[in-house]
C-alpha cells in the first residue's frame, strides 16, 4: 500500500499544479489573445481528442514493454512542459500547443498509473487502494482550485498569468520527484513483449470476460449523458453565482470526493463493486435532476457536494472492478480502453447537451443525462454478474 501512497502523492502534487492553471485558460485566451468562445471550443476539443486517443496507446505500450513506471513518468512530465510552453506562448496557437502537450501526457499516464496501482495492491483490498489514490488525487485538485480562487479574489487590474504559471511549476516538479519512491512490480505471469501485438489484442478482445464487455458498453451509455462540467458552471452562473464563487463550488466537489473515496473503496471490498457502481449511477441521476430543477444557489451547492460523492463511488471502484476481471497481461490496455471510451463519448455528450440547452433551456439536457444514468444503473442491476470473490 506504500507504493499506492506514493503514486497518490504524484497525482496529488500534479493536480495542485493542473487546477491552479486549468480554470483560468479560457480567461487567459480571451483577455490576452482575444480568442472567441468558438476558438476556445476548438482548442479544448482538439486537446481532449488527443488525450482520448493516447489513453489506450499508453496502456498498450506499458503492457507490451512492461515499463509502466517509465510510461507514467513520461506522461506526468507533460504537466511540467505544459507550464513552460504557456509561459512562452505568444499567441493562441502557443496555448493550443501547450494544451496538446498536457493532454498527450494525461493520455499516456492514466492507464499505466492505474495498472501500477493494481499491481501494487493486495487483491482483497483493491477498492481501498484505488480509493486512497483517488482521495489524494482529489485533495490535490481541491488545493489547486482553492489557490485559483484566492488568486482571482486578490487580483486587481491586469492579472499576472505568467507568475501563476511559474508558481504552478513547483508542485508539478515535486510530483515527478515522488516517482523516485515508486517501485514497479512485474507480474510473474506476464507474457513476453513480442507476443503483445495488435493481432494478439484483437484476439484477446473477442475472448474478454463478458462482465468487462458489458461494463464498457454501460460506460459508453452513461458517458453519452455525462457532458462537460462547463454546463454545471453555466447553471451555477444562471442562479446567481459569481465567477470566483463558481470556482469555489468545485472546491466543495473535490473535497467531498477526496473525503469519501477511501470509505467507499473499502465498502466495495466488503459488499462488492456492483452495488457501489449501481448506487453511484443513481446518485448521479439525483445530482443531474437537482441541477435541472434547482431554484436557488443553496441547492446548487448541495448538488456539487453530492457530485463529489458520486465521483468517490464510481471512479476508484470501477478501476478496482476492471482490475479484477481484466487479463493480467493486458491490464494497462484495458484501463486505457475504458478511459478512451469515456474520452471519446464526452464529445458527442457535450454537443448534444449544448444543442438541447440552446433549443429547450437548461432543464432538458440535465434530465437527459439523468435518464441515461438511470438506464446504466438498471442494466448493471439486471445483467451484471458479481465477481465470484465478492458473492
For the segment 358-363, the average pLDDT, to the nearest whole number, is: 87
CA nearest to 291, candidates 252, 236, 250 = 236
pLDDT by residue (tens digit) across 231-271? 887 788 888 887 678 778 889 999 999 999 999 999 999 99
- Rounded to a whole number of angstroms, the distance between the first and last alpha carbons of the chain is 25
| Residue 388 pLDDT | 56
pLDDT over 60 (residue 196): no
Provide CATH code, domain 2-179+203-385: 1.20.1250.20
Give the count of beta carbons closer than 10 Å to the beta carbon of residue 5: 17
Q: How far apart are CA 248 and CA 270, in angstroms?
A: 34
Which is higher by pLDDT, 228 or 82? Answer: 82
For the segment 45-57, the average pLDDT, to the nearest whole number, is: 79
pLDDT over 50 (residue 308): yes
- Calculate the average pLDDT of the chain: 86
Which is higher by pLDDT, 138 or 25? Answer: 138
Residue whose C-alpha cell is 458479481: 386
Most confident region among 20-29, 237-246, 297-306, 322-331 by mean pLDDT: 297-306
Given a contact cutoff of 8 angstroms between Cβ atoms, the answer to whether 113 and 182 are in contact is no
Domain locations along the chain: 2-179+203-385
Q: Is the dihedral of CA 83, 230, 341, 304 positive or negative?
A: positive
Helix 297-325 / helix 230-238 crossing angle, nearest 10 deg: 170
Residue whose C-alpha cell is 470526493: 257
The residues, ordered by sequence, that sit 6+ positions from 314 with a Cβ below 8 Å of its Cβ are 276, 277, 280, 281, 284
For the segment 213-234, the average pLDDT, to the nearest whole number, is: 88
pLDDT over 50 (residue 389): no
Q: How far apart are CA 70 and CA 63, in angstroms?
A: 12
The DSSP symbol for 310 reads H
pLDDT over 90 (residue 186): no
Which is higher by pLDDT, 193 or 227? Answer: 227
Which is higher by pLDDT, 298 or 259? Answer: 259
CA nearest to 124, candidates 391, 314, 389 = 389
Give the count of beta carbons closer than 10 Å to the beta carbon of residue 176: 16
pLDDT by residue (tens digit) across 149-178? 887 777 665 667 888 899 999 999 999 999
Amino acid at each position: 500500500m506504500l507504493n499506492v501512497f506514493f503514486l497518490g502523492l504524484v497525482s496529488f502534487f500534479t493536480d495542485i499544479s493542473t487546477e491552479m492553471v486549468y480554470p483560468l485558460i479560457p480567461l487567459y485566451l480571451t483577455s490576452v489573445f482575444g480568442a472567441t468562445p468558438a476558438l476556445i471550443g476548438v482548442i479544448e476539443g482538439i486537446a481532449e481528442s488527443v488525450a482520448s486517443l493516447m489513453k489506450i496507446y499508453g496502456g498498450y505500450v506499458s503492457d507490451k514493454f512492461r515499463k509502466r513506471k517509465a510510461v507514467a513518468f513520461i506522461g506526468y512530465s507533460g504537466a511540467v512542459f505544459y507550464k513552460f510552453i504557456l509561459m512562452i506562448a505568444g499567441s493562441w496557437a502557443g496555448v493550443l500547443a501547450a494544451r496538446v502537450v498536457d493532454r498527450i501526457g494525461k493520455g499516456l499516464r492514466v492507464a499505466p498509473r492505474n495498472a501500477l496501482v493494481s499491481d501494487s495492491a493486495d487483491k482483497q483490498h483493491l477498492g481501498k487502494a484505488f480509493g486512497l489514490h483517488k482521495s489524494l488525487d482529489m485533495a490535490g485538485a481541491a488545493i489547486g482550485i482553492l489557490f485559483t480562487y484566492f488568486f482571482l479574489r486578490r487580483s486587481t487590474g491586469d492579472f499576472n498569468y505568467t507568475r501563476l504559471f511559474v508558481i504552478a511549476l513547483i508542485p508539478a516538479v515535486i510530483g515527478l520527484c515522488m516517482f523516485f519512491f515508486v517501485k514497479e512490480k512485474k507480474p510473474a505471469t506476464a507474457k513476453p513483449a513480442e507476443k503483445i501485438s495488435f493481432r494478439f489484442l484483437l484476439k484477446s478482445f473477442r475472448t474478454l470476460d463478458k462482465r468487462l464487455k458489458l461494463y464498457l458498453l454501460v460506460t459508453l451509455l452513461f458517458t453519452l449523458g455525462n457532458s462537460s462540467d462547463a454546463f454545471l458552471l453555466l447553471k451555477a452562473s444562471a442562479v446567481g453565482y459569481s465567477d470566483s464563487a463558481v470556482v469555489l463550488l468545485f472546491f466543495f466537489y473535490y473535497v467531498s470526493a477526496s473525503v469519501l473515496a477511501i470509505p467507499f473503496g473499502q465498502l466495495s471490498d466488503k459488499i462488492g463493486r456492483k452495488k457501489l457502481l449501481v448506487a453511484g449511477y443513481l446518485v448521479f441521476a439525483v445530482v443531474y435532476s437537482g441541477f435541472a430543477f434547482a431554484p436557488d444557489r443553496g441547492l446548487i451547492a448541495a448538488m456539487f457536494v453530492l457530485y463529489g460523492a458520486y465521483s468517490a463511488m464510481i471512479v476508484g471502484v470501477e478501476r478496482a472492478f476492471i482490475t479484477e476481471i481484466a487479463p493480467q497481461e493486458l491490464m494497462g490496455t484495458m484501463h486505457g480502453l475504458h478511459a478512451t471510451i469515456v474520452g471519446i463519448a464526452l464529445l458527442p455528450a457535450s454537443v448534444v447537451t449544448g444543442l438541447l440547452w440552446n433549443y429547450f433551456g437548461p432543464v432538458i439536457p440535465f434530465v437527459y443525462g439523468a435518464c441515461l444514468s438511470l438506464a446504466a444503473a438498471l442494466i448493471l442491476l439486471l445483467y451484471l454478474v458479481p465477481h465470484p470473490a465478492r458473492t
